[in-house]
Structure 1
Amino acid sequence: MSRAKRKADHLRGALQSGQAGESGFDDITFVHQSLPDVNTSSIQLETEIGELTISSPIFINAMTGGGGKATEVINSSLAEAARELNIPIAVGSQMSALKDPEERRTYETVRKNNPDGIVIGNVGSEASVDQAQSCVDMLEADALQIHLNVIQELVMPEGDRNFEGALSRIETICKEVSVPVIVKEVGFGTSMESARKLSDAGVSVIDAGGFGGTNFSMIENQRRKKDMSFFNEWGIKTAASIAEVKYACPEIPVLSSGGIRTAMDIAKSLALGASACGMAGRILKWVKDGGTQEVLDQVILLQEELRWIMTALGINNVHSFQKVPFVISGETHHWLKERGIDTKHFSIR
């Protein structure tokens, strides 16, 4: 099967399967503030992802590319939305373009339609330094995202089975490429153990990429003759993954992704320690339903709703989320307790 056909299958699967909605955020409850002493009109949404300053804690996360005209159209619309909103955009894996120059245009359209914005390249952990730098050069990228998708590859009929040397390659890429490196799990969550290894390897930013969003095991199982359904529930939920990564590596910026659907999901991610939140599946549906304008309308609404939540919490900037008290209950509390993380400090800070 060609890569273009596989990319098209992934897009169709993502749209059909939707999001699991089991990211763990329902286990988090903010402590109400009756005297917030904040004016909504004065609230600032600006934040940082490592060295990059962004206008709000929302960005368009890696989705697609390398699937021919269909993905070129999607990426063009997403890039236009990112330009108008002044938010970062990450592309899907650029390996297709490295293997087939005809696919370059499906990625290059992002920079073409967003010439001055923050664009994030993307490659897998199998990439060499030269391949990684080629991905950066292709987009004049401001950062490079390296995705980790072991479970997807295992379930994928034509997927990789050899993951030896991945950490070593990531470490070399971090030392050699010309931009900051973000490592992103693709929906199965980053553990504290993995986070520490990535920190030691020199990674600039970790995207938790937790369970609860688009389920790539489920998508790949739909393409198999004999399914591996035991992987469909595999992973660390997004809320728990953010807490694990931040606990293990408090000095490294953490991104939240994996089932981010609402402004409340964003708020809870930021309170757990994330610097910003990446959305993919939700935005893919918006762009397919209504193009660039639908993405603009929906993200602007999210930003407005986030300001209302911040008003209720009594904070006027994104950094203050990490001082907001909240209580963790249910499965997320149990998971974090068993993993040795004391959740009480969140509730009394």
Structure 2
Amino acid sequence: MSDQINDRKIEHIRAIEKDPATDRDGRYFDRIHLTHRALPDLDLAAVDPAVEFLGKRLSFPLLISSMTGGDHELVRKINRHLAEAAEHCGVALAVGSQRVMIDQPGARASFELRQFAPSTVLIGNVGAVQLNYGFGIEQCQAAVDILGADGLYLHLNPLQEAVQPEGDTNFAGIATRIGEICRELSVPVLLKEVGCGLSPEDIAAGYAQGVRHFDLAGSGGTSWSRIEHHRRDDGSDIGLRFQDWGLPTPLALERAEPWQDRVKLIASGGLRDGLDMAKSVILGASLCGLAAPFLRPATESTEAVIVEIERLKREFVTAMFLLGVADVASLRNNRALILDER
């Protein structure tokens, strides 16, 4: 089983590389138009994009979203480059699922990233469904400790598990088990989808169990359903049938508006640039997660990842300037900045 999980990580990367359509490129944020200010009454150099998340200061509200991990040189290289770039630029980093680390000790090295990112936000990651398959507080705490994490994602991926050849599909009672981890873990639990979005009902269920951070991870970006399609050998096209299933990220943010004063929302899924990040913050996000733009640079070098981060930051700051907004607190949930939505 452990070798199978490790091999799966590489198969996921290869599927993304060979099939550009795993990125669904929904462009849902393009439907949101913002109000340009020709007289912004600001010095561009004075715009402050910094935020605080999980008790640490970030240079701007970027999270490099979960990608990978495992016992393979390519995976170790990707994660090290991401961690070094996140530290250099002062942004957050979430790792891929750490289940492989528990099943295969050789994979631990790909998650021992605090040495490369001593001060920035690092977020661990375990599949919530694994709480029904033998995982408990011991495994979750190990994921936190080995990474040196500031928080732990419990990710929800029922569609991926449903179409995965060897998927774990027993999600019964998971909310209660999430609550047990929340009460015992040494760091905050963050609840996350993986590309289909969290509904208000999901947020309510997590909140009742003590979760206060939610990554909506809506549709419009990477489709794990389509990725798993490439791993099937039974002729089924179920992965293609459901490749666009879910709540688009802007819609998930809008539907989560009643929760925005009580929880921290992370917008991910289909964000492409700093303008999409600005729109997400306007819709209530405290942090913005992107993964696809970083995968190829991360296979090359730390410097290539830094270039991508700096591009996003410049775009985000430029959007703030053109909206006449000097800091992120004035941008967040400021829907008066929206001209129209189509």
TM-score (norm: length of structure 2): 0.92
Q: Which string of whole-angstrom CA distances, capped at 9 and with x for unpartnered residues, describes residues 155-180 of structure 1?
A: 10001121112111111111110111
Aligned residues: 328
Distance 1:114 1:51, change over 3 A: closer
Q: How far off its partner does 1:113 sit?
A: 1.4
Give 1:9's aligned residue: 11
User: Which digits, 9 at most, give the CA deviation of each residue in 1:108-158, with x for residues without a partner?
Assistant: 1x2221123221111111231221111111112111111111100001000
SS at match of 1:298: helix
Rounded to whole Å, the distance in 2 between the matches of 1:144 and 1:249 is 20
Match in the other structure for 1:220: 228
Aligned to 2:216: 208
Distance 1:160 1:249 in 2: 32
CA contact (8 A) 1:212 1:237 kept: yes
Q: Give ranges in structure 2 of 5+ residues lacking alignment.
A: none
Offset, 1:246? 2.9
| Corresponding position: 1:22 with 2:33 | no
Q: How does 1:1-349 map to 2 (within 5 A)?
A: 2-15=4-17, 16-17=19-20, 18-108=22-112, 110-125=113-128, 126-127=130-131, 128-224=136-232, 225=234, 226-228=236-238, 229-288=240-299, 290-321=300-331, 322-323=333-334, 324-330=336-342
SS at match of 1:274: coil
Partner of 1:347: none
Q: Is the 8 A contact 1:93 1:124 kept in 2?
A: yes
CA distance in 2, matches of 1:220, 1:105: 26
Which residue type is aligned with residue 12 of structure 2?
Answer: H
Instruction: Please tell me the residue identity of whatever aligns with 1:286.
Output: P
Distance (Å, rounded) in 1 between the aligned partners of 2:55 and 2:120: 14
8 Å contact from structure 1 (residues 50, 253) kept in 2: no
In structure 2, how many angstroms separate the alpha carbons of the residues matched to 1:233 and 1:123?
A: 24
Cα distance, 1:249 vs structure 2: 4.7
Q: Is the 8 A contact 2:175 2:206 kept in 1?
A: yes
Contact 1:133 1:178 in 2 (8 A): yes
Normalised TM-score (structure 1): 0.90
Relative distance call for 1:266 and 1:139 in structure 2 (3 A) is: same
Report if aligned partners of 1:199, 1:249 keep a CA contact under 8 Å in 2: no
Shift of 1:10: 0.8
Q: Secondary structure at the match of 1:182?
A: strand
Superposition RMSD in Å: 1.5
- Structure 1: 4+ residue segments shifted above 6 A: none
Q: Percent same amino acid at aligned positions?
A: 37
